[in-house]
Amino acid sequence: MSRRPALLATAALALVGALLPSGTTAVADPSEPAIAERAGLRYVAMGDSYSAASGVLPLDPAAPAQCLRSLRNYPHVLAEAVGARLTDVSCGAADTGDYRGSQHPDVAPQLDALGRRTRLVTMTIGGNDSSVFINSILQCGAAGVTTAGQGSPCKDQYGDSFTDTIRQTTFPAIRRALRDVHRRAPKAEVAILGYPWIMPERVGCYPLMPVARGDVPYLRTIQRTLNNAVKRAAKATGSTYVNLNRASDGHDACQLPGTRWVEPVLAGTNPVVVHPNALGEEQMARRTMKVLGLPGTITPSPLP
Rounded Cα distance between 228 and 287, Å, is 17
**Phi, psi of 188, deg, nearest 5:** -95, 150
Contact 288, 74 (CB under 8 A): yes
For residue 112, the number of C-alpha atoms closer than 13 Å in the C-beta half-sphere is 10
Query: What's the alpha-carbon Rg for the chain, to the nearest Å?
Result: 18
Amino acid found at 284: M
Helix, strand, coil percent content, the chain, rounded in steps of 5: 40, 10, 50
Q: For residue 205, give the nearest of 268, 247, 258 by alpha carbon.
A: 268
Does residue 76 have an active-site annotation?
no
Is 275 one of the catalytic residues? yes
- Of 110, 112, 120, which Cα lies nearest the Cα of 85? 120
Task: Give, as one character, the DSSP assignment of residue 289.
Answer: H
What's the DSSP call for residue 255?
Answer: S
Q: 6, 2, 10: which is closest to 273 by C-alpha?
A: 10
Choose the catalytic residue: 76, 239, 275, 301: 275
Helices (H) and strands (E) in the chain, counts: 11, 5
Q: Which of 49, 70, 130, 239 is catalytic?
A: 49
Catalytic residues: 49, 275
